[in-house]
Structure 1
Amino acid sequence: MAGVALATTRRRFMIGTGAVLAGGLLARPAIAQARELTIISNIGNADQRTVLQRLADEYAKASGVAVTINNMDHEAHKTAIRSYLVVGAPDICFWFSGNRMKAFVKRGLFDDISDLYEREGYKDVLGATTGALTVDDRQYGLPLGGLLWGMFYRKDVFEEKGWTAPATIEDLLKLGEQARSAGMVPVSMGTKEMWPAAGWFDHMNLRIGGLEKHLALMDGKLPYTDASLKPVFDKWEELIRADLFTPNHTSSGWEQAAAALAQKKAAMMDLAGFIKYGFPPDEVDQLAYVPFPVIDPSIARYEDFSLNSIHIPKNGKNKQDARDFLAYFYKPENLAAFLEAESAVPPRNDCPPSKDPLINAAVESMKTVVGTAQYYDRDTDPDMAQEGLKGFQEFMVKPERRDQILERLEGTRKRIFKE
C-alpha cells in the first residue's frame, strides 16, 4: 500500500476550480507506466515560449507527467496540422478559433472539452469569447490572447483640438469635418494588404446587421446579394464619399497608415493593439482606444476579437493529463504571464492587470461585448476570404461598382459553399 500512496502523492494536481498544485488526487494505479504529454506549438515569440516551458516544467514536477514541447514555424504549422491531427496527433496543440477551428471540428479532429469548461467554470470568466470556441453548444478549445479591434487616436491631439472620441457614426462624420478643417485625414487607412478594408466591413456589418447575420454570411449561408447587406454598403459608401479615408489608400500598408496617425497627420485609425508598433516607444502612452461607433442603437455590441486558441486533438493519447495541464496553464496568473509576453488581450476577465494600459482598456471594454467575431479572413473559407478582401478594397476605391462586386462575391460563395 505504501507504493500506492507514493504514486498517488506524485500525481496530486488541480481537479477543482481554483485548485492549486497540491490539491486533489488524480486516481491512477501504482503500476501505471510513466505518463507523457506532448504539445505542438506555433509560437513565434521567444518570451512566450519561455513562459510555456516554465509552466510545463512546473506541471511536470507537480504531477509526475513528462511534458515535451515541439515548437514549429508558424507558417509551416498551418500545413503540418492537417496531417498530424489525423496521424501522430499530440496531446495538445495550438491553433486558431472561429472558422479555422470549425473546419477540424467538422472532421472530428478536435476533442470536445465542454467537461473541462464545466469543471473549471470557464464560461463565467470568458463571457462572449466562449462563442468563438463553440460548435453546436459544445466547446472544442480554449481561447488564448486576442486582438480587440476598434478606433485608436492620440490623446494629446484630441486634447489640443478639443475633440471628443466618436460614440456614434454621426459623431464620426462630424469629427471628419473637424479633422479635414485641421488639415488632417479623418481615418487613416492603408489597404495595400487588403485586409484592413475587410476589417472595416466587419465593423459596419456587425453594427448594422448584428452577429447572427454576419456569421451566417461567413458560413456561406447568406448571399452577398441579400437585402440585409444593402444598408451596410449604403452607409459605407456615404463614409467614402464624405472623404473620411486616406486618399490613394491602396498604395499604403497598415504600417504606413499607423505612422500617419503617430505623426499627427490623421485623427483616427481602425486597427487592433498592434498599432502601437507604428509609434515611437516614447509616444505609445498617447494612444487611446474607443469602440467602433454605434450605427443602429437597437443592435447589441458585437466586436471583432481575433483569438488564437489551444486544443486537445481527438486522436491524442493522454486526454486526462491534457485537460489537467490546460487547467494549470489557464489559471489567471499563468495565462496572464503567457500573454504579457506578446501584449495580447486576455480572454478571461479575471486575469491580473497588464503592464500595458491599452491591454487593460481592452479587457475593460470587453466586459460590455455581447458576442464576438474573429476577423473576416479568419471567419470564412480561405478562398472566399481572398475574393472578399479584393472586393472590399475595390469597393473603397470605386463604390459605384458595388453591384458587380457583390454579384462576383455571390458567385464565389455559391461555388465554394456548393449551393
Structure 2
Amino acid sequence: MSSKATGPIVGVGDSGPSRRAVLKGFGAGAAGIAAAPLLAACTGGSKPSSGNSGSASKSVTVGSGSSDAVPKRAYQAVLDAFKAKSGDTVKVNTVPHNDFQNNINSYLNGSPDDAFTWFAGYRARYYATKGLVAPIDDVWEKIGGNFSDALAKASTGDDGKKYFVPNYNYPWGFFYRKSLWNSKGYQVPATFDALKSLCAQMQKDGLTPIAFADKDGWPAMGTFDYINMRTNGYQFHVDLCAHKESWDQQKVKDVFDNWKALLPYQDKAALGATWQEAATTLARKKSGMYLLGSFVTQQFTDKTVLDDIDFFPFPSMAVEGTDAIEAPIDGLMLSKKGGSNQAAKDLLAYLGTGAGQDVYASIDTSNLQTAKDADTSKFTPLNKKCADAIAHAKYISQFFDRDALPTMANNVMLPALQGFLKDGSIDTKQLEAQAKTLYQA
C-alpha cells in the first residue's frame, strides 16, 4: 500500500520540508561535491563586540534550520522569552531544513549568524576542528551542572573544549496506535523473530506492517543503525561508522541479510514518499507501526490521535538485547563571529537551563528536554516511556549521518541503501572501497 497522502487528513500535520536530511558538501576537498551556494536568508549577524562586557553587543541573530511548523514556533518562543528576560534584540533567520543542512559549509565560511541550530557529536566536532565555530567553555561553566556526562561528552570537540549546548534529544523506535493494536490483539515484540511474526499477521490483516519513507534518503539509515547494533553490537556499529571496521566483511553482510527479512513488510512506495506522508498512514490506521524518531508525533495535531500513540524500542536480535538506543541530540552552536558576541553567549546559556528548554517543550512536545532542572511534570505517558528508554540505555547512538563521515553518509550510504530498498542487493566491496578513499582523504 502506498504511503503517499492522497488528500487532507484531519489531525495530521502538513508535510512541509523534511524534518532531517543528510548533509551535502560537508567539508572542503570532498571529491565530486560542488560548492553549495550561501544561505540566502542568513546573511550576517550583529556587530561583534570588542570582547569586554561593558561594550558587549545587545543584539544577536540566529540561523535556524528548524523550518517545520512545530519546531519553528518552539524556537521562536524561546527567542521571545530570552528577549523578554534579557532585553536583548534577537532576530531569527529560518531556512528550509534541507537547504540549511546542505549549505552549512558555505554558510559558516561566508557571513553566518551569531548562533545557529545544529547537532551534537561528529557534526559539531567537524566544524570545531575547521575553526568555523566558537568554543563556549565560559558558557559551560554556568550550565555544566545541568547536563549528564554523556551530554557533556557529545558537546565537546576533539580539542577538549565545549562547542555545543544541547536543547533536546529524541529516541528512535517503533510508534503505533494503541487502539488499532488492541482491536487486533497485537503484542509488543521482544525479539526479532516476534517482530517478523507480527509483521506477517499485520499483512494478513490487510495492513502495511511497517510504514516507511525514504524519498529524502536519510530515514533508511535509522533502520540500518538499529539492525547493525542489534546484530553486531554498539561498539562494532560506531567503529564501522568511523571506518575502524571494514565494510566488506560477513558482519556487515549479516546486517543486510537480516534486513531482507523485513523488506516484504515495509511500504513498497517508500522511495517516493516523505516521512510526513508515511506518518499519515499511521494516523489513518493503514499501517501497523512506524520506525522513526519521536519527532513523528509532530504530525499528529489531533489530540485523539496523539494520545493514541505508543512506542517500543527496536527488539533484541543477536547481541546486547536492547541496550543501545538511537537518540540524536539537537541544540545551538556559535559561529566563529558569534563567539565575540556576549548576547549570543547569553542566549546559549539560557537554552542550557530548564527554564529555557521548558519554553521550547511547551510547544514541541515530541522531543525531550536535556537539562536536569527541566520540568518533566507535564510529560505525557509517551514522553515518559521515551525518556525511560533513553535513561536505561547503556549506549546512545546519534544517527548514521551524525556518527559517520558525512560524505560517506551522503555520497555512499544514501544511494546504496536506496538501491538495497529497490532490489535487495548491496555491494559491500564497493562500500569498503569508497569508505577507504573518503576516510583516507
Cα distance in 1, alignment partners of residues 55 and 276 from structure 2: 53
Measured after TM superposition, the shift of residue 335 of structure 1 is 0.8
Question: In the alignment, does 2:393 pair up with 1:372?
Answer: no
d(CA) in 1 for partners of 2:407, 2:355: 39
1:143 alignment partner, SS class:
strand
CA–CA distance in 2 between the matches of 1:114 and 1:209? 36
SS across alignment from 2:125: helix
Aligned counterpart, 1:288:
310
- Aligned residue number for residue 285 of structure 2: 264
Higher mean C-alpha deviation, range 322-331 or range 361-370:
322-331
Deviations 1:286-312 (A, max 9, x none): 111111112234366222223322123
Q: Which has the higher contact order (CA 8 A, sep 6+)?
A: 2
Question: CA contact under 8 A between 2:230 and 2:321: conserved in structure 1?
Answer: yes
Aligned to 1:16: none
Amino acid at match of 2:188: A
The equivalences for 1:312-323 within 5 A come to 312-318=334-340, 322-323=344-345
* Counterpart among 237, 242, 256 of residue 233 in structure 1: 256
Find the counterpart in structure 2 of residue 149 from structure 1.
172
Give 3-state SS (helix, strand or coil) of 2:265's partner. coil
Q: Does the 8 A contact of 1:132 with 1:374 survive in 2? A: no
Q: Report the count of equivalent residues.
A: 381
Q: Note the 1:107-256 alignment, pairs <5 A.
A: 107-114=130-137, 116-117=139-140, 119-122=142-145, 125-126=147-148, 128-136=150-158, 138-240=161-263, 243-256=264-277
Q: Kindly indicate whether the alpha-carbon contact (under 8 Å) linking 2:136 and 2:339 is maintained by their aligned counterparts in 1.
A: no
Q: Is the 8 A contact 1:154 1:286 kept in 2?
A: yes
1:313/1:131 Cα in 2 relative to 1: closer, same or farther (>3 Å)?
Answer: same
Q: Corresponding residue for 1:276?
A: 297
CA shift digits 1:45-84 (9 cap, x unpaired): 55234323333324424xxxx4443424245655775466
RMSD after superposition: 3.3
How far 1:151 sits from its partner (Å)?
A: 0.3
Q: CA deviation at 1:156?
A: 0.9
Q: Which amino acid aligns with 2:194?
A: D
Alignment of 1:322-337 (within 5 A): 322-337=344-359
Residue 408 of structure 2: aligned partner: 384
Aligned equivalents of 2:155, 2:124: Cα separation in 1: 8
CA–CA distance in structure 1, aligned partners of residues 277 and 55 of structure 2: 57
Q: Does 1:47 align with 2:73?
A: yes
Give the Å deviation of 1:152. Answer: 0.8
Residue in 2 that maps onto 1:409: 431
Equivalent position of 1:57 in the other structure: 83
TM-score, normalisation: structure 2: 0.74
**Partners of 1:125 and 1:350 within 8 A in 2:** no
> Match for residue 12 of structure 1?
none
Aligned AA (1:371): Y
Task: Kindly state the Cα deviation for residue 107 of structure 1 after the two structures are TM-superposed.
Answer: 1.0
| Shift in Å, 1:283 | 1.9
For 2:308 and 2:86, how far apart are their aligned partners in 1? Answer: 43
Question: Could you tell me which amino acid in structure 2 is paired with residue 48 of structure 1?
Answer: A
Distance 2:317 2:137 in 1: 35
Equivalent position amino acid for 2:415 in 1: K
Question: Which one-letter code corresponds to 2:393 in the other structure?
Answer: V
1:127 shift after superposition: 5.4
Distance 1:102 1:48 in 2: 26
Larger radius of gyration: 1
Question: Is 1:398 the counterpart of 2:423 in the alignment?
Answer: yes
Identity %: 25
Q: Is the 2:249–2:428 Cα contact (8 Å) retained in structure 1?
A: no
Contact kept in structure 2, 1:86 and 1:315, CA below 8 Å: no
Q: Distance in 2 between matches of 1:319 and 1:219?
A: 35
* Structure 2 Cα separation of the partners of residues 323 and 253 of structure 1: 36
Q: Is residue 361 of structure 1 aligned with residue 385 of structure 2?
A: yes
Structure 1 pair 323/177, CA: closer, same or farther in 2 (3 Å)? same
1:85 is displaced (CA, Å) by 4.5
Whole-angstrom distance in 2 between the partners of 1:277 and 1:60: 30
Question: Aligned AA for 1:224?
Answer: W
Q: Give distance in 1, aligned partners of 2:113 and 2:434.
A: 36
Post-superposition CA distance 1:211-252 (Å, at most 9, x none): 333233333443321343233223222333xx3323454344
Contact 1:163/1:175, CA 8 A, preserved across alignment: yes
Amino acid at match of 2:295: F
C-alpha distance in 1, partners of 2:137/2:317?
A: 35
Contact 1:151–1:291 (Cα < 8 Å) also in 2: yes
Q: Distance in 1 between matches of 2:287 and 2:409?
A: 29
Residues 323/280 of structure 1: CA separation in 2 closer, same or farther (3 Å cut): closer
SS in 2 for 1:270: strand
Q: Letter of the aligned partner of 1:376 in structure 2?
A: F
5+ residue gaps, structure 1, are 1-27
Contact 1:59 1:328 in 2 (8 A): no
CA distance in 1, matches of 2:312, 2:296: 13
